Amino acid sequence: MPNLPVRPRVLCRTFIAVATSLLVLSACGENRLEASVQPGGSSAAAHSEARSFNQWRDGFRDQALEAGIAPGTFDVAFRGIEPDPAVLKADQSQPEFTRPVWAYLDGALSTQRQATGRVMLTRHAATLQQIEARYGVDRHILVAIWGLESNFGSNMGDRSVIRSLATLAHQGRRSDFAQTQLLAALQILQRGDTTVSDMTGSWAGAMGQTQFIPTTYNDYAVDFDGNGKRDIWHTEADALASAANYLKASNWQPGAPWGMEVRLADGFDYALADMSIRKSLTEWASLGVTDARGRPLDSRSTEQATLVLPAGHRGPAFLVMNNFRSILRYNNSTSYALAIGLLSERFQGRGQILANWPTDDDPLSRSERLELQERLEAHGFEPGSVDGIIGANTRQAIRRFQIALGWPADGYPDRQLLKALRNRNN
C-alpha cells in the first residue's frame, strides 16, 4: 500500500465530546449515531453527532470548492454519506498480539499464491513485458505486489472510499491526513477516472488492485492501456503499470537484486544489522559474511547492502539492497518487503530460506512492548516514544541495553530481554 504509513492503533476508550464545527470527535469503535439504540444510549447524543458530521461536511465542502472541486462533483460524492461505524472500529482498535515474521511469511508465500502468481505471469506476459520495457521494474516483483495487495485483484475492499475517508476525516485519529486523501479522491472523481460507486477500497481508503491511496494515485497512477482513464480497479495493465511507475519513482534499479539470505560468522557484531548502515559486498565479505550456503559473496558487485535480522540473531539473516528500500516505500514493513522479494523468487522456483526461524520465541504483545519501552526509558536507555512500536530509536535503546548485559546487540525485543529489564528493578 504505497505511501500509507504503518497504522499504529490505540486502545479503545470512550469520550464525551462536545459537537462543534469541524471538531474531530473520538469514538470507541461505534459511531454515536447509533447511541439511541444502545442500552443506556441518548438520542440527544445521536442528534448531536449527526449535527457535528453535517457541520464538518459543510465546512469541508467550502474547502474543497476553494481547492477547485466543482459543487456538482462534491454533492454527488457526498450524497447520502454518513459516518461508517466499522471504519471507526478499525481505526481505533489496536490488536494486542501480532504475528511473528515467520507466520506472516507462511501466509504471504502460500503455495496457492505462488501457483496463482505463475498463472498471472503467463496470462499477462505481453503486458508485463511492455511494462518492464517502459519502467524497468521486474515483472515478478510487480505480480508479487499484486498478489499481496489484493490477491491478484480478487480482494480490493468493497467500502466506499468517500465514506471511509469522510469518517476518518471527521472522527479518525489522523484527521488531517484523511482530509488530504479525501480531497485527492474528489479530484479523481472530477477528472472522470472512475465513479463514486466504483471508487471502493479498504477501510483506510486504499484503492484498487494495487491499493493506492488517493494522493499516490494522483501522483503515480498511469493510463497504460490508453483508453483515457487511469483505472486501477478494473484494468490490470493500468494497475500493474501504476505500481511499476511508483517503484521507478522510488529509485528502483533495473536488473538489480532486492537482496539475499546470508550466513554470518561466529562472533559477528550484530550491531551492524541496522538500516542506517550500508556496506559493499566486499566489505561484508571481509567481516565473514557469506551466502546462505557458505559460499563467497560476489565481490564484483558495486551494490551497497544492509544487514537485516527480522527475528534477531537466532533467525535468518539477509543482505538487502536498494530495491528492497524501494519496496519499503510501497509499504514500510520489513516483513512485507521481505515477502515481496521472496515471493517474486518463488514464482521462479527460488527463494527458499535455508536458516531456521526461532519458532519457540513467542513475540511480545503490544502491552509488553509498551512495558519494554517504559523500562528502557526508566533506566536511561532512551527508546524514544513509548507507543508499542519497535522503531529505530527503540532498537538502538535495546542495543545499548544488550551491550550493557554483554549479549549479542541485535536490537531485537524478546521475552528474555524484558525479563532482564524487570529483574533490573529488583
Whether 306 maps to a domain, the answer reads yes
How is 192-241 classified by DSSP, letter by letter?
A: TSS-TTT-EE-TT--BTTTTB-HHHHHHH---TT-SS---TTT-HHHHHH
Whether 40 maps to a domain, the answer reads yes
For residue 48, name the pLDDT band (cuts at 50, 70, 90). Answer: low
Q: What is the CATH number of the domain that holds 382?
A: 1.10.101
For residue 95, name the pLDDT band (cuts at 50, 70, 90). Answer: confident
Of residues 98 and 311, the one with the higher pLDDT is 311
Whether 176 maps to a domain, the answer reads yes
Q: In terms of domains, do 44 and 189 share one?
A: yes
pLDDT in tens, 192-219: 999 999 999 999 999 999 999 999 999 9
Helix (H, G, I), strand (E, B) or coil at 306: strand
Q: What is the CATH number of the domain that holds 48?
A: 1.10.8.350
Instruction: Give the whole-number percent of the chain exceeding pLDDT 90.
Output: 84
Q: In terms of domains, do 187 and 315 share one?
A: no
Q: In terms of domains, do 66 and 168 share one?
A: yes
Whether 399 maps to a domain, the answer reads yes
| Residue 33: predicted pLDDT | 27
Whether 62 maps to a domain, the answer reads yes
Of 35-39, 175-179, 262-266, 378-382, the poorest mean pLDDT is in 35-39
Helix (H, G, I), strand (E, B) or coil at 174: coil
Q: Are 403 and 409 contacting, i.e. CB atoms less than 8 angstroms apart? A: yes
Say if residue 362's pLDDT is above 70: yes
- Give the domain extent around 170: 32-94+157-207
pLDDT in tens, 336-358: 999 999 999 999 999 999 999 99
Say if residue 23's pLDDT is above 70: no
Q: In terms of domains, do 165 and 68 share one?
A: yes
The domain tally of the chain equals 3
Cα 366 to chain center, whole Å? Answer: 18
Q: In terms of domains, do 65 and 197 share one?
A: yes
Say if residue 318's pLDDT is above 50: yes
